[in-house]
A = this chain, B = another copy of it.
Amino acid sequence: MGTKPWGGRFDRETAPEVERFTASVSFDRRLFEHDIRGSVAHVRMLARCGIIPRADARRLRAGLERVRREIAAGRFRPGPEHEDIHMAVEARLREIVGPAADRLHAARSRNDQVALDLRLYVRGEIAAIRALIRRLQRRLLAAARRARGVVIPGFTHLQHGQPVLAAHHLLAYVEMLDRDADRFRGCGERADVLPLGAGALAGTSLPIDRAYVARLLGFRAVAPNSIDAVSDRDFVIEFLAAAALAGVHLSRMAEEIVLWASREFSLIRVDLSYCTGSSLMPQKANPDPAELVRGKCGRLCGALVAALTMMKGLPLAYNRDMQEDKEPLFDAADTLRACLSIMAGLWDHVAFRADRAAAALRGDGSQATDLAEHLVGRGVPFREAHRAVGRLVARAARAGKALEDLTLAELRAASPRFGPDALRLLDHGETVRRKRSRGGTSPAEVSRAVRSWSRRLGARDA
């Protein structure tokens, strides 16, 4: 018996519960374009190398193209009767082209085939994600431009540290995202090798030409070791690690949107079209998209752990465990795309509230560092300056006075070294302007960064 394509040696049918349990077609069907593209390249190579007749190759290519169209159009639906997308495509191909279909799988195993499909998928996702990262960076840059001049509290420990430009804060996210894009690039480069031709694990005795297939499919190189080629899922795990870290970044950004949109912070206003309400409480308008983005960081981390755990301790070469690589990968790619996309839209619907930011700064004491640096500029050792200003802050607090209400005499009571220009530092805006160190929050530095990013990112989404 054995009605399976691999059933020659089997004297009995696979148990139906085993078929159900091991079938992957419900999720790997989304690889169909990649699978067929790989098969077409494989067929071209087989014919070119004289492994299959040219006439059969033509039939196979036309047939594969038809299967692709049928699946794309929903006319052929790979279903539970097929083990996986590879078998589904081949089965339908056989219905279309007849026995020539039996030639397709020469010099190929599902082991190298699925590795190929998955690399093509990852390559495509990396390109899409990098484009979405660029888009989000552009939206952040646009938001930074709109926020020009807005000074907000800069936080450490969620306490006011020093005033910063809102634009400077947004550019911090542009930097983070840039590392994400670069990580995905690195992942893509390491993934950019052709596994096809590795066969089950040993290579093949047929006279194939892997370099030709690599050229057809646009890979920079051929995987140099056949055992590694079918055992390796680094590109999946590295992708998931990059996605998890991007997810952490987005969770931080989301946390800040939630915080800043709170009644207490009121640093931003989120347009109501980007909020949702409560089924019970009529007054509510919640920043749900940001919260969901923050929450989705969890599933990105979970997907990474799933893949790491799955691969742990697996002997070479292919093991069926590795079928479990796909769902976390697909879910992570979809999730990250959706989060990047909604975040881009969200920043277009966020407005800083300069008035509330100004009110928040009043009396917060966040000019203190500048006072200390002023003293340093006048020769006071920093620790001494820090102590003097610390006493000043404590005294002002006891007196119920804001720093900005202090007089020069009061400053000098804390340290006689305060110069007359020290009073200017009690203006939050002035402290911002003075942070002219490279990468600092002064308008000059921030404008430079905005211009630099504008050049790098271009005006329009790709």
Whether B197 contacts A157 by the Cβ 8 Å rule is: no
Query: Does A78 sit at the interface, judged by CB under 8 A?
Result: no
Interface residues of A in 1-18 (CB under 8 A from B): 2, 4-15, 17-18
Q: Which label, helix, strand, loop or mixed, suits the secondary structure of the A interface?
A: helix
Contacts A284-B156, A285-B10, A440-B204; A291 near B279 (Cβ below 8 A): no
CB distance from A276 to the nearest CB of B (A): 6
Query: Does A40 sit at the interface, judged by CB under 8 A?
Result: no
Q: Please, which residue of chain B has its CB at the minimum distance from the CB of A433?
A: B205
Binary interface encoding of chain A residues 254-280 relative to chain B, with 1 for a CB under 8 A from any of its CBs, else 0: 111011011111000001111111111
Tell me which residues across on chain B come within 8 A of A391, comparing CB atoms.
8-9
Whether A282 contacts B157 by the Cβ 8 Å rule is: no
Whether A156 contacts B292 by the Cβ 8 Å rule is: no
Contacts A280-B108, A309-B309, A435-B204; A9 near B274 (Cβ below 8 A): no
Whether B172 contacts A225 by the Cβ 8 Å rule is: yes
Q: Please, which residue of chain B has its CB at the minimum distance from the CB of A198?
A: B439
Interface residues of A in 369-412 (CB under 8 A from B): 369-374, 376-377, 381-384, 386-394, 397, 403
Whether A381 contacts B103 by the Cβ 8 Å rule is: yes
Tell me which residues across on chain B come within 8 A of A203, comparing CB atoms.
435-442, 445
Tell me which residues across on chain B come within 8 A of A174, comparing CB atoms.
225
Whether A286 contacts B156 by the Cβ 8 Å rule is: yes
Whether B278 contacts A156 by the Cβ 8 Å rule is: yes
What is the bound-complex CA distance between A305 and B303, given in angstroms?
9
> Which one of A67-75, A124-132, A314-322 contacts B?
A314-322
CB distance from A23 to the nearest CB of B (A): 10
What 8 A-B pairs are tightest by C-beta distance, nearest first? A8-B390, A203-B440, A302-B306, A295-B321, A298-B310, A6-B277, A102-B381, A283-B365
Q: List 19 A-B contacts (CB under 8 A).
A: A13-B273, A18-B273, A99-B384, A110-B279, A156-B319, A158-B261, A162-B201, A164-B201, A176-B228, A199-B440, A200-B280, A203-B442, A204-B373, A226-B439, A241-B245, A264-B264, A294-B313, A298-B309, A309-B309
